[in-house]
Each structure stands twice: as structure tokens, then as C-alpha cells.
Amino acid sequence: MSQPKPKKSAFREWLDSVVFAVVAATFIRWLLLEAYTIPSSSMEKSLLIGDFLFVSKLHYGARTPGTPLQVPLTHQTIWGTNIPSFSTLIQLPMFRLPGFTDVKRNDVVVFNYPGDPDEPFEDPLQGNGGYKAFPVDLRTNFIKRCIAVAGDVVEIKKAVVYVNGKEGEIPPKAQFYYRLESNDLLDDRFFENEDIQDYGSYPADSLRPNKFLYQIRTTPQIVEDLKKHSFIRAVTHESRYDATTPEMGLFPATAKQNPDFWGPIQVPKTGMTIQLDSANIAKYGHVIKYFDHNDADKVVIAKGKVSIDGKAVTSYTFKQDYYFMMGDNRYESADSRFWGFVPADHIVGKAVFIWMSIDPNPKSILNKIRWNRLFRLID
């Protein structure tokens, strides 16, 4: 007669429950959904600082782990410390499982920030997002809106985005600068009631004492509401830069452009072949060297020429798709205008809905939770 199994101790039952919960959470986080928090204003007013999101891995397909030696449920470091939570002793090739859909224009996408490999600093907030410090699947997470997909030609003129020669779809809560003309003097309370935080007045015109001019940063939706006031004379879109004023720090570095006048440039696509002349090397050289599955140490770009594995090449065919990303808060966003394209293997998932929203600077403790944003779908 078999002996009954000894009953597990309370500690053993607790330990088994913890192990099961960690394994289940890790599996869900990898394959289905992952939680993220919005840390910056680059997507306002679509997404606010303090929004907590769920990001779907099912839409585009989950990536197989590239860095398997990692503390479960961590990213880059162990919670509350600067201690790395991973080891690069084992690095595996990453593959993407089948998903429901491909990345589409206007999707809100979470991705691993590719960064600038030539940046001398390893600061994810200021420099390259850990290009050298972290493997692909552990680089800093960014969230932006996909403006152009692989193969598209993107251009910005007077702060308006054009994709393949046509004006791109404007997200309803994207923010731009406008010139506001009013018959009345407008005070801080007016702008607060209209949900406009960024505003300033132009010098008064002594010849037109009843005309007041303001520069505001807001959304197209709010502009339409402003026009309903009888004392508002006009609200017109304006860019902060003119076409002749180049700005430092944009991609590609050799182009004379600024955030409001950028491009045109074609987003690389799998199988797209380019001639490696000086113009294309400036646009795509760092992509070929660092992100298109080549050994960066064996790609040499010098004096307007490219060699790979010691052989000079005059044309190049891309091995994966890329995307052009921008923040909805166009003037507070470090995005593809500044650091270039997002490779397909850096895509994490699609932001689908907000499950919690906490105001970091509430007017009172009763307003700490933004109740009207809970369980809101992201568009």
C-alpha cells in the first residue's frame, strides 16, 4: 500500500505560488501584454505624463528573447538600483512571431530606441540610449507615433508632414503653434479654461489698439473650439522656423534643415537597393553600419566610400524594414527627425489602452487620479 504524499509546508506552498506567478507574469509580459508608463511630454496631449499603458505584443508579433540571461520582470537594471539585471554571456538571434498586423501609419508604437552609435556618451536621457551598453531588446523604451512605414518618402514643410507627396493624417491631439488674433485682452484664466498651457503675447500694435496677438501651442481640436468665440478674429497655423534657417542636431547631420523643414528622404525597406553616392551615404551610412545586421567593425565609411568585409561596395540592398517616428507634441519630441529610422527588430509593440493615469502635479489630492482617462483606448 502506497504511502500518502507528505503535505507541503506553508512556506513551500507560498514559494510554489510565487514561482508560478513570476513564470506566468513573465510569459504574459513576453508574449501578450506589457505595462509601460509615460515619463515625458513628447506625446501630449494624446498621452500624458503619468499615464499607465498596456502595450500589445500580439499586434505585431512578439520577439523571441535575444538576451535570455535576465532577472524576470526587469529591464536593464534591478528594481531601485543601478545593478544590471542581465548578462550578455549568451546572445541569441531574435525572430518575430506572427502577429495580427504590420506596423501602420499613425499607430502609436513602443520601440527600443536605436540611438546614435557615434555619440560618445552612454546616457539614455541625453545621448544614445545605451546603444553600446545594452543589447537590442534591452535598449531604452520610447513611445512615438509611426508617421511613415518602410518604402515611404517623408518630408516636412512649414511643420506639416507629407508622406509620398500627400499631406499626412494629423492626429487629433497633435500639438502645433498657432497665431491667435483677438479683439479682447486674454488672461491666464482664459487659456487655462481652454486647456492651453503654452502661450505668449506679441507686442501691442499702437495703431490697432483693439487687436491682441498671441502665439499658442495647442491641438487642431482646441483651435476649432477657439474659433467659436465671437471675440476671436483668427487662429492660423505657423511654423517656428523658416526654410532658410538650419538647425544643429538633426538627422542626417550633413543636411541643412530644421524640425519644420525636413527631408525629403525615403524610409529604407527590405530589398530596397540604393547607389552609395555621397548623398545616400549621408542618409543611410549609419543604418548600414550599425542596424542592418552587419558587423559594424567590418563596415568602413570613409572619404565618401563604403567597404564591407574589406570589399568596396557601390550599391547596397537593405535587409530589414525601417520606420519614421514622431511625437504628437512636435516641438517637445526627440524623434526620427533627430536620430533617424527605427529598425523593425527594435519594434516592441502597439500601445492599445490606458489603464491608469496619475497627475504628477494635481491641484488637490482629489485630482491625483485622472478618472476620465482610465480604460481609454489609444488612437
Identify the CATH number of the domain in which residue 196 sits: 3.30.70
**pLDDT value at residue 8:** 74
Provide the mean pLDDT of the chain: 90
Q: Is the pLDDT of residue 249 over 90?
A: no
**The length of the chain, given as a count of residues:** 379
Residue 277's pLDDT band, with cuts at 50, 70 and 90, is: very high
Specify whether 104 is located in the same domain as 65: yes
**pLDDT value at residue 255:** 79
Q: Is the pLDDT of residue 4 over 70?
A: no
Q: Cα 114 from chain centroid?
A: 11
Q: Which residue type sits at 95?
A: F
**pLDDT value at residue 119:** 58
Specify whether 232 is located in the same domain as 191: yes
The answer to whether residue 60 sits within a structural domain is yes
Residue 16's pLDDT band, with cuts at 50, 70 and 90, is: confident
Q: Is the pLDDT of residue 124 over 70?
A: no
Average the pLDDT over each of 39-53, 116-130, 271-285, 346-360 and give the range with the smallest value: 116-130
Q: What is the mean pLDDT of residues 337-362?
A: 95
What percentage of the chain carries pLDDT values higher than 70? 93
What percentage of the chain carries pLDDT values higher than 90? 72
Specify whether 182 is located in the same domain as 80: no
Q: Is the pLDDT of residue 1 over 60?
A: no
Average the pLDDT over each of 42-56, 203-217, 256-270 and give the range with the smallest value: 203-217
b/e map 328-344, b = 16+ CB within 10 Å: bbbeebbbbbebbbbbb
**pLDDT value at residue 257:** 92
Q: What is the mean pLDDT of residues 33-42?
A: 94
Specify whether 47 is located in the same domain as 140: yes
The answer to whether residue 114 sits within a structural domain is yes
Q: Is the pLDDT of residue 138 over 60?
A: yes
Q: What is the mean pLDDT of residues 360-371?
A: 90
Q: What is the mean pLDDT of residues 67-79?
A: 92
For residue 111, what are the domain limits? 36-152+322-379
**pLDDT value at residue 11:** 81
Report residue 142: phi and psi, to 5°: -120, 155
**pLDDT value at residue 157:** 94
Higher pLDDT, 5 or 113: 113
The answer to whether residue 46 sits within a structural domain is yes
The string of pLDDT tens digits covering residues 318-349 is 999 999 999 999 999 999 999 999 999 999 99
Which burial class, exposed, middle or buried, applies to 161 when counting CB atoms under 10 A from its CB (0-12, 13-18, 19+)?
buried
The answer to whether residue 12 sits within a structural domain is no
Domain total of the chain: 3
Q: What is the mean pLDDT of residues 178-186?
A: 93
**pLDDT value at residue 126:** 41
- The C-alpha torsion from 326 through 350 and 104 to 341, rounded to 10°, is 40
Q: Is the pLDDT of residue 120 over 90?
A: no
The answer to whether residue 78 sits within a structural domain is yes
Q: Which residue type sits at 237?
A: H
Q: Is the pLDDT of residue 116 over 70?
A: no
DSSP β-bridge partners for residue 311:
308
The answer to whether residue 226 sits within a structural domain is yes
Specify whether 367 is located in the same domain as 336: yes
**pLDDT value at residue 244:** 87
Specify whether 99 is located in the same domain as 136: yes
Average the pLDDT over each of 10-24, 128-142, 155-169 and give the range with the smallest value: 128-142
Q: How many whole angstroms separate alpha carbon 208 and alpha carbon 220? A: 28
Specify whether 93 is located in the same domain as 41: yes
**pLDDT value at residue 127:** 42
**Comparing C-alpha atoms, which of 172, 226, 224 is closest to residue 199?**
226
The answer to whether residue 283 sits within a structural domain is yes
**pLDDT value at residue 204:** 66
**pLDDT value at residue 285:** 92
**Comparing C-alpha atoms, which of 216, 324, 189, 345 is closest to residue 264?**
324
**pLDDT value at residue 2:** 60
Specify whether 275 is located in the same domain as 358: no
Specify whether 215 is located in the same domain as 132: no
Q: How many whole angstroms separate alpha carbon 376 and alpha carbon 362? A: 20
**pLDDT value at residue 121:** 47
Contact residues for 196 (Cβ-Cβ < 8 A; gap 6+): 216, 217, 218, 222
**pLDDT value at residue 254:** 77
The string of pLDDT tens digits covering residues 92-103 is 999 999 999 999
The answer to whether residue 21 sits within a structural domain is no
Specify whether 276 is located in the same domain as 314: yes
Specify whether 44 is located in the same domain as 144: yes
Kindly write down the DSSP assignment for every residue of 37-70, as one continuous string. E--SSTTTTTS-TTEEEEEESTTT-PBPPS--SB
> Helix H segments across the chain?
10-31, 188-193, 220-226, 278-290, 336-339
